Amino acid sequence: MITRVEGLLYGADYNPEQWPESVWKQDANLMRDAGVTMVTLGVFSWARLQPAENEWDFAWLDRLMDLFDSRGIAVDLATATASPPAWFVRQYPETLPVTADGVRLEFGSRQHYCPSSPVYREAATKLARAIAERYGEHPALALWHIHNEYGDHVTECFCDVSAADFRRWLRERYGDDIAQLNFAWGAEFWSQRYSDFAQIEPPRTAPGPVNPGQLLDWRRFSSDALLACFLAERTVLKEVTPEIPVTTNFMSMMKDLDYWKWAAHEDVVSDDAYPDPADSSAHVQAAMNYDLMRSLGGGKPWLLMEQAPSAVSWRAVNVPKTPDQRRLWSLQTVARGADGVMHFQWRASRAGAEKFHSALLPHGGTQSRGWRETVKFGEELAKLTEVAGSRIESTVAIVLDWNSWWALEAEDHPSARVRLKEQILSWYSLLHRWNHVVDFVPPDADLSPYKVVLAPNLYSVSTENASRLSDYVYGGGYLVVGYFSGIVDELDHIHQGVDGTGGGYPGPLKDVLGVAVDEWWPIPDGRSVEVSFVADEESSQAKKKHKHSYSIGYHRTPSAVRWSEWIGATTARAVAHYTEGALKGRPAVTCNDFGEGRAWYVSCDLGGDIEKVLAEAVRPAVVWPSLASSLAFSGVEVVCRSSESHHYYFLLNHGDKQVDLGSAVPFGAVNLLTGSRPAHLAAQGVAVLKVGR
């Protein structure tokens, strides 16, 4: 992944500005003792590197770069652009970001910049260039860390400079044709039509609901404005040091930035992951995020750029990680394709907003438990060196489209309770329990590598992308589509159908799904609607007829919450019906044979009961290795990474009970962490089995 460092990366953000120089050497030596292979340097160093507009100070960083080089530690060098210094802000106050209410955000935190500001962008690229020219040839330099967490704190700015940039962006998008914009935004509604681009402003706080087309374009623009900042720095770095890989640290499955667009410009995808130790299912959402990171990089190994060694400081209640949890969650990232485990941060701060955030070297220093864990984990990670570079194969994909996400969660929809990430997570959770590794794909992806494609929600889908899905099913693929899908096109206009009288929902997905949706029937908070599955009805009737039938125990009746729909099956067959309320007797879930394949439509939010649908749908996607399926439901997460010569089975026990592995362990398999063949997996334990191919 990063050619200058072998094996898996281990390290942290290091903020040397916070410490006297006498501490640096001690830190570098301790890093070496802990097996640290890479440090992230300079993330918040702007004020030190450029103390005034025409003043630069690199001497201190020179000494640090040399110090790390002398200890054999590589540097992930930041461009330091995420927190402009006070002098810059006072000299260029117009670069401070403005909220939708017109409040200009003050200096005193971080990320206080307007993404569209040419002044900010110029200063940032100047800094990036100065750093690149100074350290481009330095032997310690392994990776460029552009900026830090784009979109953390500030994702959009409503100042006049942003407004002008928005208008420029719109002119480009609509070919300088205001009529096209009026059409796209449905601007005939409420007398909103424009006669000139100059009349357009950002969607600032307004008396009532703001035009959804304007809001959607604003989201696209805001993601692109930050992307332009990233690309401006990237261009400079690639010009000066074309051979050094670049990354910027993502923030897991984040709504504000269309990461498909971003990842295309990264050599390495990296992520900052902060699962909450207080949440007993946090590892499931974490797995989902890691699968996304791997997918964003097209399957290549990614890098865990930041995690907390223990507690964070920014939640209301910051629960630490137990030692086992820390190890388990760290190795989970490697299991799901990370080629490195990095942290925020190296040495716990003694002052500042994050002084209560855990670190690899805690306030208690080398006498602390945390430090012993830091050293121990470094030793363990070194045992997995050969895993670096290995890949993960998946035959199940989930479609994720940021444009659809933004459009879906707009205001004034049938229900404000629909949230894409929750919806994806509820489906993903089952796949995780069954040990299916999932790839995420953009809506225009080549689906041919997959046996099963899931679209928990595809509110917005273009006719072309809908055809892709139809063709995929026609050719033999299995597809499951969740409720409120196929509703609008890329402009957030309701699909009209071919004859112009209104084609009805689910628009261009009607044929492949074989259903017609008549009307949505959101379910009020706190209520649910019972659903019964045809297969269950048939088997209970069969049981009634059979003399010696016996009950196999209590089964909770499946039910829908949040959402249901009045649908009719055209060519599909009902798999489940609503059994009460306004929709009683109507289909709730359908299945349509289409060409060589099959497509399900789930018209309601089944929560965990989606299991009944997905269990059937994912059947062609065999869980592999067999160990993974035999441990499904046991709480043990199994992921296989493969190199040309070997498979590495990561077994991660997220449960609080020991699990016997017994005959599940393949012949000749050895746990790389212990050097022996495991018979069981302790509660929260991990094994990495090496098996020849």
3-state SS class at 681: strand
Contact 425, 288 (CB under 8 A): yes
CA distance 222 to 13: 28
CA distance 664 to 670: 13
Q: HSE on the CB side for 529, CA within 13 Å?
A: 29
Smallest distance from ligand GLA to CB 604, Å:
26
Residues 6+ apart with CB under 8 A from 288: 253, 424, 425, 428, 432, 438
Query: Nearest-CA neighbor of 357 among 318, 409, 398, 306?
Result: 318
Burial class (CB in 10 A: 0-12, 13-18, 19+), 675: exposed
Contact 134, 259 (CB under 8 A): no
Burial state string for 519-557 with b = 16 or more CB within 10 A and e = fewer than 16? ebbbbeeeebbebbbeeeeeeeeeeeeeeeeeeeeeeee
Which string of x and - marks every residue 92-131 that binds ligand GLA (by CB under 6 A)?
Answer: ----------------------------------------
The DSSP result for 250-281, as a single string, is E-SS-SSS-HHHHHTT-SS-EEE----TT-TT
Smallest distance from ligand GLA to CB 507, Å:
24
Say if strands 270-272 and 141-145 run parallel, antiparallel, or are unpaired: unpaired
Residue showing tokens 């940021």: 402
Nearer to ligand GLA among residue 43 and residue 665 (C-beta): 43
Smallest distance from ligand GLA to CB 410, Å:
16
Burial class (CB in 10 A: 0-12, 13-18, 19+), 656: exposed
Smallest distance from ligand GLA to CB 612, Å:
38
Residue 606 one-letter amino acid: L
Question: What sign results for the dihedral spanned by CA atoms 158, 163, 167, 172?
Answer: negative
Residue showing tokens 């209970």: 540
Could you tell me if residue 633 is left (phi over 0), alpha (psi between -120 and 50 degrees) or otherwise beta? left
Nearer to ligand GLA among residue 357 and residue 612 (C-beta): 357
Smallest distance from ligand GLA to CB 345, Å:
7
Smallest distance from ligand GLA to CB 603, Å:
25
Write out the binding residues for ligand GLA, residues 326-345 only, by CB under 6 A: 344
Smallest distance from ligand GLA to CB 149, Å:
4
Give the interface size with ligand GLA as a residue count (CB under 6 A).
10
3-state secondary structure 518-534: EEECCCCCCCEEEEEEH
Nearer to ligand GLA among residue 128 and residue 312 (C-beta): 312
Contact 459, 508 (CB under 8 A): no
The DSSP result for 634-680, as a single string, is TTEEEEEEE-SSEEEEEEEE-SSS-EE-GGGSPTT-EETTTSS--SE
Write out the binding residues for ligand GLA, residues 346-405 only, by CB under 6 A: 354, 357
Smallest distance from ligand GLA to CB 349, Å:
10
**Catalytic residue set:** 149, 306
Smallest distance from ligand GLA to CB 313, Å:
7
Residue showing tokens 């796209």: 184
Contact status: 272 vs ligand GLA (CB under 6 A): yes
Nearer to ligand GLA among residue 95 and residue 249 (C-beta): 249
Question: What sign results for the dihedral spanned by CA atoms 121, 122, 128, 132?
Answer: positive
Nearer to ligand GLA among residue 108 and residue 553 (C-beta): 108
Smallest distance from ligand GLA to CB 250, Å:
10
Residues 6+ apart with CB under 8 A from 179: none
Nearer to ligand GLA among residue 148 and residue 222 (C-beta): 148
Residue 374 one-letter amino acid: T
Residue showing tokens 């040839």: 137
Nearer to ligand GLA among residue 307 and residue 435 (C-beta): 307
Query: Nearest-CA neighbor of 24 among 43, 5, 4, 41?
Result: 41
DSSP 205: -
Nearer to ligand GLA among residue 258 and residue 272 (C-beta): 272
Nearer to ligand GLA among residue 248 and residue 684 (C-beta): 248
Which string of x and - marks every residue 280-309 that binds ligand GLA (by CB under 6 A)?
Answer: --------------------------x-x-
Which string of x and - marks every residue 227-266 that binds ligand GLA (by CB under 6 A)?
Answer: ----------------------------------------
Smallest distance from ligand GLA to CB 279, Å:
16
CA distance 349 to 342: 17
Which tokens sit at 98?
A: 């403005």
What is the Rg, in whole angstroms, of the alpha carbon atoms belonging to the chain? 27
Judged by CB under 6 A, which of 12, 80, 292, 312 binds ligand GLA? 312
Nearer to ligand GLA among residue 27 and residue 609 (C-beta): 27
Nearer to ligand GLA among residue 148 and residue 653 (C-beta): 148
Judged by CB under 6 A, which of 149, 565, 609, 637 binds ligand GLA? 149
Binding site for ligand GLA (CB under 6 A): 148-149, 272, 274, 306, 308, 312, 344, 354, 357
